[in-house]
Amino acid sequence: MSSPGLVRRLGLADAVFIGLGSMIGAGVFAAFGPAAGAAGSGLLVGLALAAAVAFGNATSSAQLAAVHPASGGTYAYGRAELGPWWGFIAGWGFVVGKTASCAAMALTFAAYAAPAGWEKPVAIIAVVALVTVNWFGITRTAQLTRIIVVVVLLTLAVAVAAGFSAPDAPGWLGSEALWSDGWYGILQSAGLLFFAFAGYARIATMGEEVRDPARTIPRAIVLAFAGALVVYAAVAFAVLSSLGPQATAASTEPVAAAVAASGWTWAEPTVRVGAAAASLGALLALIAGIGRTSFAMAREGDLPRFLAAVHPRWHVPHRAEATLGVVVVILVALVDLRGAIGFSSFGVLIYYLVANIAAFRQDPGVRRYPRALQIVGAVGCVVLVVTLPWQSVLVGLGVFVVGVVYRAIRLRITRAR
């Protein structure tokens, strides 16, 4: 008897909310501090560069998703357009990079929600709780994500208003402030902020659970990206104008700090609740996306086939998601937030490099966007990878070597049999 499959239950609004839930939680509450540390006020230029690269990647993903509406995102696209090894590199980059993102989101949630000294235990409890929510079906994930996104957007509206009401930090904006750390610092901030934009990949990874995927997925990707960009830009200006670049870089909670600097003390608890909710929304969508990519890779034998099971009642890749939960709990216990963001950016940039190459190779008959966008996306991915913190690059290269060796050994054993 054949095993149960995934079911198409998500509409356009569901897909857009899942994309927004992934991006808003990641960028607004986690990435601005490290980006300000790299470039100061130049993170605004870095944000524009990250957005340009991300837009090229988003259009590549949308174009590919219209032709290959399968679970796995660029793992499936790379296999179909370029070959199995390309697909494996993309899938491995996504799984390991976004697993680090899960740890970053859990730790961000705990930074805002947990009492001092209890951050890691609270982060672990959050991971276990959201893996459990995902276990009971993709519609549960979509419903909870809608609620979280609405709460977060209302919270951020208050935070932006508070930030702009505060007195301007001296000299935070101007040519000297923007370029004080040079191009290298700006590019490094762009690489770190790219971590925030990559949430639209979660939409593409759910290709077997979206209704009318050839039409729905491309539209959802572009809509979610545009909405997130507006939110990032507003929050970046509000935080920098109220705190200044140095205080932004020093804070692990820059949005809450900006509200405190405005004197809106009544709003600070509200912002903390919103920040915690945003991080939970991102973590929820990440678990769903990584579970689907792991499921797709296991189905092809690129991860242990044990992970390819679908729950007979809830129609989710339950073994893949449970295994992911165990790995994320271990990471939360071992890593810090900034290290997780840098490593996540490395893996995801490699993932999108493959997406851009695959989209560039597509036939003219299925092309939705000009090839120039794929060139911008691919070149941007390479530039941002090499300007990430060197520790993130070295760890990322080591993890990719492990993945390549694993697949080569597996193929050798398979051929021998």
Q: How many CB atoms neighbour CB 50 within 10 A? A: 30
Instruction: Please give the pLDDT value at position 140.
Output: 63
Q: Is residue 406 part of a domain?
A: yes
The residue count of the chain comes to 417
CATH at residue 307: 1.20.1740.10
Angle between helices 84-113 and 268-299 (to 10 degrees): 160
End-to-end CA distance of the chain: 26
What is the span of the domain harbouring residue 134? Answer: 12-416
Q: Is residue 131 part of a domain?
A: yes
Report, in this order, helix, strand and coil percent for the chain, each rounded to 5.
80, 0, 20
The pLDDT score that the predictor gives to residue 133 is 82
In a domain, 72, yes or no: yes
The SS3 assignment for 302 reads coil
Give the pLDDT of residue 4.
59
Whether residue 98 lies inside any domain: the answer is yes
- Residue ranges for the chain with pLDDT beneath 50: 1-2
Has residue 156 been placed in a domain? yes
Domain assignment of residue 180, yes or no = yes
pLDDT of residue 1: 43
Q: Is 314 exposed, middle or buried (0-12, 13-18, 19+ CB in 10 A)?
A: middle
Cβ(289)–Cβ(206) below 8 Å: yes
Would you say residue 7 lies in a domain?
no
pLDDT of residue 375: 95
In a domain, 4, yes or no: no
What is the reported pLDDT for 12? 87
Token pair, residue 267, equals 């709003």
Total domains in the fold of the chain: 1
